[in-house]
């Protein structure tokens, strides 16, 4: 007798995190929802990053680039120009989790842009 797996009660983790936990449909929450204020969006972004990377506060430039969906060169250029607040860690450049959440919420304000 063959068995069929019942996946009707499972959903994919919508945050894109690598996780072994199962999420039931009634409790699942869509992270792409309209939130009222900028503060709520910032808090939600910070929460999502914290869930994806538990116990991690500082990120390398490469990790920040992957989270933001941009190139390493762009992150490096923004760090050098002062558009991204970074922390020196020896000879390395580290970016705080709150700065990544800020960039996800507000973007990077470029003084040279013509908007």
If the chain, 115 residues long, is cut into consecutive pieces of 10 residues, what is the mean pLDDT of each piece? 53 51 49 60 91 93 94 95 93 94 84 42
Beta strands 58-60 and 23-24, pairing class: unpaired
| pTM confidence score | 0.62
- C-alpha distances (whole Å) from 2 to each of 5, 7, 10, 24 are 10, 16, 21, 25
In this structure, what token pair is assigned to residue 19? 């996780």
pLDDT value at position 39?
Answer: 73
């Amino acid at each position: 007798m063959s068995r069929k797996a019942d996946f009707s009660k499972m959903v994919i983790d919508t945050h894109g995190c690598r996780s072994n936990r199962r999420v039931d449909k009634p409790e699942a929450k869509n992270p792409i929802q309209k939130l009222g204020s900028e503060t709520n969006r910032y808090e939600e972004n910070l929460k999502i990053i914290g869930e994806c990377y538990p116990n991690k506060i500082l990120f390398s430039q490469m990790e920040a680039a992957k989270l933001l969906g941009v190139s390493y060169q762009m992150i490096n250029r923004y760090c050098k120009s002062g558009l991204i607040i970074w922390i020196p860690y020896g000879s390395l450049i580290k970016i705080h989790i709150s700065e990544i959440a800020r960039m996800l919420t507000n973007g990077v304000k470029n003084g040279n842009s013509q908007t």
